[in-house]
Structure 1
């Protein structure tokens, strides 16, 4: 077990603003003479007092103190802090600004413009564990020389979790440092559970260990460098470790534990028959899952895999067909569409890269090929110009009278063109074969009837297009 600190007080002064580099300093041209130092000390002594737990308002104006380095304006506040306290200060109001905390020697201790790392919006808060009781200086600074306006500092107090044992469900706030914090937890009933670790200070990382050699790790499944473990857990005692993914300074984090929100009344099925127009729910935990279906006659089949827990990935195999898809559906959902001959097929459901876990839904539908709507006949050297609706597929019939090599192009300035051609035992498709975002299929075709499908690569794209067929 990690050594837990005694109960600490967290002061959070809330709001919302965006800042880059907080700072205050005397003009660069000023010599560091004793009178100037004494004058700065006098200014600090006269600064408004900020008391943890109160709401305080201020404003940056053209009369505020000047940062001689970049021309921004700033305002100082003094506050008294106790040793061992963990404080969080946030900036609110119209001012586009930043915060900086200094000790009595005017040494910078923390800044809202220095988040630990990652591509997140610039922080508008600073956090610091206080090493020594005394008076400290808080500086509210404009983002740049054009930043003026009122701001708000509002405070509240909260206690951090000091226990090494977590209940299910529960929420815990902690301060991460060193090798992280380790907790024990007990699962009373088997079921689906979810554990999340969120932090704006560190790249969250979770490790869960349990009965019969169970072990799961996660880094970024909750998005924005937050961690999530969602899995089916058996009854027993578990060990949960919350830490940073890499060696960085410590920071505030929140743990949330509870049952996973699954579809009401859903029965989870991780294998077996995939029935058309009958959605099923499953649970992915790192191992690929296989389902089967059979077509009695040729049909166009659409398969969707949807999940809010992980990046869905689908594969389709059978009768000399192999197709796969990652993000063909909305967001990180997968979608496969394929005209298929009669026969047996296998669908493999997993995550992209094998990462993550959680609940998913699998849907399948089919339309007999002869029932697919037709947008008309496509003739050699006679281009068709039309407009594609969002999420739609346009179908065209073409007849090849003489064997030879043919080129089919789908051209559009409005969307990423995707082209499919099926018939006479062939199923061909292309995304960007014609250059830029245009599609092209060039192949030897035997005499007979074929179906060309014009669509967009993304499910929501739309716009005008040209479809043309040439003999090479």
Structure 2
């Protein structure tokens, strides 16, 4: 059964004293002390009651950790099954915390990083699996760490439930496993589920009617998970876990309708009209659109999404183009000079992962209206500057058939070169070595267009464009 909560109730923490930092060096993480039988039995150890504040001090007379030379102190901590505890170490001592069970097994430890001036408070969290007396060990970071300390403890009270509502917000605790929830969708629509945590690498799995299954790792940014999808009515099973290993920690689930612009209609197929953007919903399956050009044109198509890494493929009339991140961030932007005719466009995510809302838009410029940066002649290199996001167009007039080589060279950006005309559509990224581009091919007499740009469509800098007959 999952344990979740719509609220987290925290007992008030006691104040933390700030004083002189002892042992200012940056040590390696302290090795937890070996727990002997006397420790396990709790003989003559002071007792720390959950919710109370306790003071102590690490001195040269404190017990010695033979592994690294640090000193430590011990406290008996009676705890009940199901209790979620947090213990914080404050005060001048630069130290760490470790919690052991009655079988002397290490259950949890703090991972405080020491700083020169103001060390952050060390703390640990743990959900208790069984009633009993536990051992809390306070250690210095290294053999130079001494000083007074303050222990404060609290119980984090989470409401237990294995059922979630839409919309809702719930706080849960993972402990070496996963939490399973039941979620009922009353009306079909666009929904979003997020799992956020500063303790674990969040991972979500959603399963539902008719074999529905979606999973996600990092779509919400950082190590947080997000599933955004169109859900039909029915009962779903939501699994919240860590992506790797058996990690423990606090997490928050947030469920609700997806934020979709008001009045937008989703289209997952059909015609993509020039200068008429449309919105669609990607759910793991490639989506197909088509468009028609009445005359030759330079076409730019963009797929924008904040939910997944978009990817575009364009085919038709013996051409094929694709793009992953040619736009801003993880958005796809595809540019191609196309002849008149019908074309097919495939919209999907990179690798087929993720799901969510996207915008698709296309624009076109008639070939005859394209700006010209001049004419490129054989053995007459052109030196120019490419502006960010720009494409420079050059006209080539081939008077006699032969084998020609076209180079785009730059020390400032990753060069990308395209050549079109007389039914020919060629492109190259790094064919000239390093990040320079080269197209080497046979050209028949006629007029061609060379297009100089950067691979990412966003870089700028100086370049040389040159044409040779081989």
List per-residue Cα deviations over 1:186-242 (Å, max 9, x = no partner).
222221001122345544433323334433333443344543221111222222233
Match of 1:233 in 2: 231
CA RMSD of aligned residues (A): 4.5
Matches within 5 A, 1:349-388: 349-388=347-386
Cα drift, residue 96 of structure 1 = 9.9
Match of 1:434 in 2: 432
Match of 2:446 in 1: 448
| 1:21 correspondence with 2:18 | no
Cα drift, residue 94 of structure 1 = 13
Q: 1:452 to 1:53 in 2, by over 3 A?
A: farther
Q: How many residues align?
A: 446
Matches within 5 A, 1:14-413: 21-23=29-31, 52=51, 80=77, 82-84=79-81, 85-88=83-86, 100-101=98-99, 108-113=106-111, 126-130=124-128, 131=130, 133-134=132-133, 136-137=135-136, 139=138, 158-177=156-175, 180-245=178-243, 248-413=246-411
Give me the whole-angstrom Cα distance separating, in 2, the residues matched to 1:438 and 1:328.
18
Q: 1:247 to 1:65 in 2, by over 3 A?
A: closer
Q: 1:233 to 1:152 in 2, by over 3 A?
A: farther
Give me the whole-angstrom Cα distance separating, in 1, the residues matched to 2:410 and 2:370.
23
Give me the whole-angstrom Cα distance separating, in 2, the residues matched to 1:21 and 1:359.
45
Cα drift, residue 169 of structure 1 = 0.9
User: 8 Å contact 2:8–2:171 — kept in the other structure?
Assistant: no
- Partner of 2:171, secondary structure, is strand
Cα drift, residue 274 of structure 1 = 0.8
Q: Which has the larger displacement, 241-250 or 383-392?
A: 241-250
Q: 1:213 to 1:386 in 2, by over 3 A?
A: same
Give me the whole-angstrom Cα distance separating, in 2, the residues matched to 1:388 and 1:5.
55
User: 8 Å contact 1:197–1:242 — kept in the other structure?
Assistant: yes
User: 8 Å contact 2:219–2:226 — kept in the other structure?
Assistant: yes
Q: Which has the larger displacement, 328-337 or 231-240?
A: 231-240
Q: 1:139 to 1:381 in 2, by over 3 A?
A: farther
- Partner of 2:204, secondary structure, is strand
List per-residue Cα deviations over 1:440-461 (Å, max 9, x = no partner).
1111111222111111111332
Cα drift, residue 320 of structure 1 = 0.8
Q: 1:232 to 1:58 in 2, by over 3 A?
A: farther
User: 8 Å contact 1:9–1:86 — kept in the other structure?
Assistant: no
Q: 1:291 to 1:5 in 2, by over 3 A?
A: closer
Q: 1:179 to 1:157 in 2, by over 3 A?
A: closer
- Partner of 2:351, secondary structure, is helix
Give me the whole-angstrom Cα distance separating, in 2, the residues matched to 1:371 and 1:146.
76
List per-residue Cα deviations over 1:12-38 (Å, max 9, x = no partner).
9899xx997344669xxxxx9xxxx99
Q: Which has the larger displacement, 186-195 or 78-87?
A: 78-87
- Partner of 1:450, secondary structure, is strand
Q: Which runs of 5+ in 1 are unaligned?
A: 27-31, 115-122
Match of 2:423 in 1: 425
Q: 1:419 to 1:93 in 2, by over 3 A?
A: farther
Q: Which runs of 5+ in 2 are unaligned?
A: 17-25, 113-120
Give me the whole-angstrom Cα distance separating, in 1, the residues matched to 2:200 and 2:32.
26
Which one of the candidate residues 447, 462, 466 is aligned to 1:464? 462
TM-score, structure 1 normalization: 0.78
Q: 1:450 to 1:190 in 2, by over 3 A?
A: same
Give me the whole-angstrom Cα distance separating, in 2, the residues matched to 1:93 and 1:439.
62
Cα drift, residue 263 of structure 1 = 2.2
Give me the whole-angstrom Cα distance separating, in 2, the residues matched to 1:52 and 1:394.
70
Q: 1:125 to 1:427 in 2, by over 3 A?
A: farther
- Partner of 1:370, secondary structure, is helix
Give me the whole-angstrom Cα distance separating, in 1, the residues matched to 2:108 and 2:77.
16
User: 8 Å contact 1:330–1:459 — kept in the other structure?
Assistant: no
Q: 1:79 to 1:302 in 2, by over 3 A?
A: farther
Give me the whole-angstrom Cα distance separating, in 1, the residues matched to 2:304 and 2:274.
16
